[in-house]
Amino acid sequence: MKRRCGVLLPVASLPSRYGIGCFSREAYEFIDFLAQAGQSYWQILPLGQTGYGDSPYQSFSTYAGNPYFIDLEQLIERGYLTKNDAELCDVGENPSYVDYAAVYHSRFAALRKAYENSPYALTPSGKWAGEAYESEREAMARFCEESADWLADYALYSAVKSEFGGKAYIEWDEEIRLRRPEAMRRWREELADEIRFYEFQQFFFAQQWQALKEYANRKEIQIIGDIPIYVAFDSADTWSHPELFLLDEKGYPTVVAGCPPDGFSATGQLWGNPLYDWDYHKETKYDWWAHRIEHCFRLYDVVRIDHFRAFDEYYAIPYGDETAEFGKWMPGPGYALFEELKRRLGRKQIIAEDLGFLTPSVLRLVKKTGYPGMKVLQFAFDSREESDYLPHNYTHNCVVYTGTHDNETMRGWYENVNRRDRAFARKYVNVRRADTAAWDFIRCAFMSVADTAVIPMQDYLNLGDEARINTPSTLGGNWEWRMLPGQATPELAARMRELAMIYKRM
């Protein structure tokens, strides 16, 4: 990667009229802002459909996109919705935060109305049934055919899940839970319209995202996507491909994913994702992984792989444990996986999220892949010991962040860190004023030798922890913050551009 800079901002955190950031006019305006600010990258969080807890790292599918991101105004322009239909959506009371309950209930109702009043319905009515719209139906048919390896299972999973009142698939009737052929045929016939509705959502998600990405690329902005290493237990992936995971004969995980006790949590992080059967993946020459990464590079220009250290060793927690304290480390696939990916897909731009406790073998794996790792300034200023996260210890091949979606904002960190570490950081970074310290840390990241610097938008806006995205090991209050209209000003773009010019990141 060349010497460049970018901004971290989840799609959900964009301003918009309907309760959550989406692929709307505001997204295009944000790309214009990035171009004016001399940025080369827009880093986002996973685009998957969020499940329980609203986390983009716990998605109902590793392939399907989040229907919340579909821009309703584009559906209005096509005549599938009226402006009044969209304005009836409950968007919550505070434009600074996503009200997921309100969005869930109103957004799917609006999308259902758009589906029924379109040429894509299973049985189109009125003018939409006419031959004039045959090309639209053919376009969706091509999308469904090209995406058949995941879309058919995802749409059926989603339709059956809705029929069972949103219950996890492990609680469904045995015949469909175990995918017995007769049950699969029956449910596909009975839920044909509901299945078509979920295909409709994915068709429009793909159309709108590709248009937005192409616009960004024309502006010389590359998209850095983010993929979780694991899939959710309650997901179309686990239901349709149980052979990929360590499950017992009843379909329950034997062990689940997480992290041991660390600075974020005294009892560790219990994520609950099923763990991969790496022996099976090796036997199949990592075919599923190759397809997954190939799909990601159709969505993004650069891919950040979350929790990269688990490819070397992963933490396995007995299923049913209430904390992550009693897990154990198990060997992952190592370099063999990435050797196969390079053989099949060629060299790709991948960022390895190599944060946390790193053993010599993890460091060797990251170095052997050649992928840039991550440096987070908030992890640098432990006054008790020398840190690899201090900029004078960087190599060129890394990406430096002030913080990530899992950290406090830079301003929040500086206000809350203990006095000794703050004093060390103040001297190292040459902080002159507490209320503008965030910009001093941004400058420190920019002047480092790291090839790439990515800064959360909240730090450019100098916001406190009211703008934090996620606090690991907590439920509620996460993934909610949104930027307000008008905050990304021309004056801010000019200041960002100047910094990019000074430190040769344009």
Residues designated catalytic = 306, 353, 406
Backbone angles phi, psi at 404, to 5 degrees: -115, -175
Distance in angstroms (rounded) separating the CA atoms of residues 331 and 310: 8
Strands of 238-390, DSSP E:
255-259, 269-274, 302-305, 313-318, 328-331, 350-352, 373-376
Q: How far does the chain reach from its first CA to its final CA, in angstroms?
A: 13
Distance in angstroms (rounded) separating the CA atoms of residues 466 and 409: 9
What angle, rounded to 10 degrees, do the helices at 192-218 and 134-146 form? 90
Two tokens, residue 326: 């009693």
Please, what's the b/e burial string for 46-74 (b: 16 or more CB within 10 A of its CB; e: otherwise)?
A: bbbbbbeebbbbbbbbbbbbbbbbbbbbb
Distance, C-alpha 142 to centroid of its chain: 26
Residue that the structure tokens 């379109």 belong to? 118
Q: How far is CA 46 from CA 6, 64, 219, 488, in A?
A: 17, 11, 22, 23
Residues in the chain: 506
Amino acid at 250: K
| 154 close to 198: Cβ distance less than 8 angstroms | yes
Distance in angstroms (rounded) separating the CA atoms of residues 426 and 447: 16
Distance in angstroms (rounded) separating the CA atoms of residues 480 and 463: 15
The 3-state DSSP class for residue 376 equals strand
| 47 close to 59: Cβ distance less than 8 angstroms | no
Task: Indicate the helix (H) or strand (E) that contains 401.
Answer: strand 398-401
Distance in angstroms (rounded) separating the CA atoms of residues 400 and 239: 37
Task: Report which of 232, 235, 312 is spatially closest to residue 271, judged by C-alpha positions.
Answer: 232
Two tokens, residue 367: 């170095």
The 3-state DSSP class for residue 256 equals strand
Distance in angstroms (rounded) separating the CA atoms of residues 304 and 56: 14
Two tokens, residue 222: 């590359």
Distance in angstroms (rounded) separating the CA atoms of residues 113 and 107: 10
